[in-house]
């Protein structure tokens, strides 16, 4: 159902973990791919395997890019195109285009190039629907990110928070934006914007409602 293209392990949880858990519980487990293994000397890659096993989703691939050294752009585009050929899917989630983290920004740009509807590997064809969503990462996504799509994660926040704690090398204390307190506050803020207790926010980058679907789902 959904392919999530992340720069580093833990981005999948920080950006859209509650949404992914909700999809998995509905019988549509997502596939996660990471362009890199994360911080040098950290435990992110090992922790990601533990998280995936507990969450019930699949890690489809690991990319070759080093932390804070993603590039050149054409190499990242080529890697993303290979992922799209292998996994594709009607709904793809990527980093925002308003990033202060250079790896996130380069991966976003590469995904937008690779997902061009008229020329990329993610061609819609006749019939199927296609959606491209971008997510925010607390502490690295800038103020230019403007949500236009919200996902009610009120029933999945506790599980998401527990999974975030499994990334041992990424623990942060308050008032850091990725501390447990700040993550909960952000979920409640996004929920208040959408009229629900807690939510995750996205920007809908592209949507095609295909001939075989009367809706985007």
Q: pLDDT tens across 64-110, in order?
A: 999 989 999 999 999 999 999 999 888 999 999 999 999 999 999 99
Instruction: Encode pLDDT of 154-197 as tens digits.
Output: 999 999 999 999 998 777 888 888 999 999 999 999 999 999 99
Q: What is the pLDDT of residues 193-211, one digit of tens each?
A: 999 999 999 999 999 887 6
Which DSSP category does 207 fall into?
Answer: E
pLDDT at 39: 83
Within a domain: residue 214? Answer: no
pLDDT band at 217 (very low <50, low <70, confident <90, very high): very low
The pTM (predicted TM-score) of the whole model is 0.92
121 located within any domain: yes
pLDDT at 123: 63
Distance CA 81, CA 216 (A): 23
Report d(CA 2, CA 24) in Å as an integer. 10
For residue 168, the model assigns a pLDDT of 84
What is d(CA 47, CA 166) in angstroms, rounded to the nearest whole number? 6
SS3 content of the chain, % helix, strand, coil (to 5): 35, 20, 45
**Which of the pair, 129 or 71, is modelled with greater confidence?**
71
DSSP 8-state class, residue 169 = G
- E strand or H helix at 32, and its extent? strand 31-34
37 domain-assigned: yes
Q: Whole domain around residue 83: which residue ranges? A: 2-208
Within a domain: 217: no
Q: Is residue 97 part of a domain?
A: yes
Could you tell me if residue 52 is inside a domain?
Answer: yes
For residue 198, the model assigns a pLDDT of: 98
In-domain check, residue 157? yes
CATH number, domain of 75, equals: 3.40.50.10320
Q: How many domains does the chain have?
A: 1
Joined tokens for residue 112? 């937008």
What pLDDT digit, counting tens, does each position of 1-42 carry? Answer: 799 999 999 999 999 999 999 999 999 999 999 999 988 877
Sheet holding 2-6, edge to edge: 58-62, 31-34, 2-6, 91-95, 130-135, 199-208, 149-152
Of 46-55, 62-71, 126-135, which range is least confident?
Answer: 126-135
Structure tokens at 213: 């679907």
Task: Please answer whether residues 42 and 167 qualify as being in contact, where contact means their C-beta atoms are separated by less than 8 angstroms.
Answer: no
């Amino acid at each position: 159902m959904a392919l999530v293209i992340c720069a580093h392990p833990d981005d999948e949880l920080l950006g859209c973990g509650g949404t992914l858990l909700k999809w998995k519980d509905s019988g549509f487990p997502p596939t996660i791919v990471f362009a890199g293994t994360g911080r040098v000397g950290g435990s992110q890659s090992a922790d990601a395997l533990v998280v995936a096993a507990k969450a019930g989703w699949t890690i489809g691939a690991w990319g070759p890019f080093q932390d804070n050294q993603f590039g050149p752009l054409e190499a990242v585009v080529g890697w993303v195109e290979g992922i799209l050929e292998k996994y594709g899917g009607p709904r793809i989630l990527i980093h925002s285009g308003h990033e202060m983290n250079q790896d996130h920004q380069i991966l976003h740009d590469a995904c937008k190039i690779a997902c061009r509807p008229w020329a990329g590997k993610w061609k819609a064809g006749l019939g199927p629907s296609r959606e491209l969503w971008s997510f925010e990462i607390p502490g690295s996504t800038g103020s230019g990110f403007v949500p236009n799509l919200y996902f009610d994660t009120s029933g999945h926040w506790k599980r998401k928070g527990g999974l975030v704690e499994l990334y041992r090398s990424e623990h942060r204390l308050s008032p850091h934006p990725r501390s447990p307190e700040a993550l909960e506050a952000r979920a409640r803020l996004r929920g208040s914007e959408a009229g629900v207790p807690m939510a995750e926010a996205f920007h809908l980058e592209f949507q095609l409602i295909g001939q075989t679907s009367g809706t985007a789902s």
